[in-house]
Structure 1
């Protein structure tokens, strides 16, 4: 019985520390509801092209400033005008487009169960 309790405690501890994962080496530490995920768009570069409009297929539009973030890490729960979040997304594949006065971006993202995917927009990654 003690081994069963220890095993259950160990499994609960592991699940509690898993948090949400990301797909581009940014730091994340938010636990997301089962079956959902989050996509974050941001830039660590001063793109200097005004407002960036982002469209995620089937999920609408969002905007963010083209100025760079003041930090070198992105966390799932961060908020900043140079970031945009699409929250409570079902797991699956998504395509996106983003644009400002000087640049355009497009791509696809595969979002897993309970994950937080962060996507960096940069001048070098523009189409």
Structure 2
């Protein structure tokens, strides 16, 4: 399986939110996302992404996200309920807007970017109920952290590129022919300010190098 080419700006941050090998979902029968209805209590919880330390807090009207103990940057709209099982919200970041849909799926929640023109979602991810939201209260300040987003512009012929920074290994699942514009795309690491090194591998192709993280900054690194 090769890296997948996705529409520009459809991945949520930070690799962060979306990782799935599911096919696109045809939602041609879904009602317009501007129709608002009242939510039910099923969503009023914390949710954790399957297999990753990514969390959603849906206990208030505006969703909050947490990745590896750090708040995910960006501004989020209030939830807009289509019916008791489906809601939409918008991510605003650096002048861009991406709409997302959440949908009840048994005891789980499905999160995916929403393509209003095609009336379908892309690359859905599954979240399960959680009893915690690591970015709530207490904890250390995140002001000394910055981010690096790794990406590639081409299909390197493997299912994913493994990227290791220190003791953390994450996987880049997609490629971006047009590049990326900020740290809401690519495979994102949130790291303390300072100098770091990385290694990456895709079959027989390897990369390595050093980079510097600045407090509150966003560094974009093209794996060429």
TM-score, length-scaled by structure 1: 0.59
Normalized per residue, which structure has more strand? Answer: 2
Shift of 1:70: 5.0
**Residues 66-118 of structure 1: per-residue CA shift (max 9 Å, x gap):** x521543332223xxxx21112x210100000001120000001111211111
1:75 aligns with 2:185: no
Pick 1 or 2: higher relative contact order, CA cutoff 8 A, min separation 6.
Answer: 1
Q: Which sections of structure 2, spanning at least 5 residues, go unmatched?
A: 1-92, 96-141
1:62 aligns with 2:165: no
Q: Which sections of structure 1, spanning at least 5 residues, go unmatched?
A: 1-27, 123-127
SS of 1:73's equivalent in the other structure is coil
Normalized per residue, which structure has more helix? Answer: 1
1:107, 1:70 → 2: CA distance? 22
Shift of 1:34: 2.5
Equivalent position of 1:9 in the other structure: none
1:73, 1:84 → 2: CA distance? 11
For residues 104-119 of structure 1, the aligned pairs below 5 Å read 104-119=206-221
2:150–2:188 contact (8 Å) kept in structure 1: yes
In structure 2, which of residues 94, 106, 109 is the aligned counterpart of residue 29 of structure 1?
94
1:50–1:101 contact (8 Å) kept in structure 2: no
In structure 2, which of residues 194, 201, 207 is the aligned counterpart of residue 92 of structure 1?
194
TM-score, length-scaled by structure 2: 0.35
Equivalent position of 2:151 in the other structure: 42
Equivalent position of 1:5 in the other structure: none
**Residues 40-84 of structure 1: per-residue CA shift (max 9 Å, x gap):** 1001122223311110014x100012x521543332223xxxx21
1:45–1:68 contact (8 Å) kept in structure 2: yes
2:179, 2:197 → 1: CA distance? 26
